[in-house]
Amino acid sequence: TLAGILGAIVLATVNPDAGMAAMMATQGAAQQSAINVTRSNEQEADRIGMQILADAGFDPHAVPDFVRKLTEQSRFINQQLSFLQTHPLSQSRVSDTRLRAEQFQRRFVPDSQDFTLSRARVHARYQYNKQDAE
C-alpha cells in the first residue's frame, strides 16, 4: 500500500488526475485486502466452531440449519454487494457449513427433560395467542 501511494504521488507530479486515480485505486485495493482477511477469519471460525461442537458431543449437522435460519431473518436487511461484505454471504456460509458437516459422523442427540421444559417455557412466554400458549 505504501509503495502504491508513493508511486501515485510521483505520478501526480506528471499528471495530477492519473495520480489521484492511482491513489484511490491503491486505497481501494488495501480495503479489499482487509475485507478478504476478515472473510477468511469468519470461515476459519466456522470450521473451528464445528470441530468444537463435534468434540463436545453435539451434532455439527445442525450448524447449516442454524446459519440458514439467520439468513432467513436478515435476507431483506442487508443488500450490499458480496465483494464489499466483511463476512461471507449467508448462502455461501450455509453451503460451506453443509459441506463441512458431511466430514463428521451423524449423531442423534436426544433432547433432555431440562431442554424440553425450557423450550416449552420459552414458547409459552413468547406466544402471542394465550390459548396456544396453554
43-83 pLDDT, tens digit per residue, is 888 889 889 988 888 888 888 888 888 877 766 665 666 55
Cell digits of residue 46: 466456522
pLDDT at 117: 93
Say if residues 91 and 97 touch (Cβ distance below 8 Å). no
Question: Residues 92-116: pLDDT tens digits?
Answer: 788 888 888 888 888 777 889 999 9
Q: Which residue has the higher pLDDT, 101 or 31?
A: 101
pTM: 0.52
Q: How many domains would you assign to the chain?
A: 1
Say if residues 96 and 71 touch (Cβ distance below 8 Å). no
Cell digits of residue 78: 442487508
pLDDT at 86 over 60: no
Residue 122, domain extent:
2-133
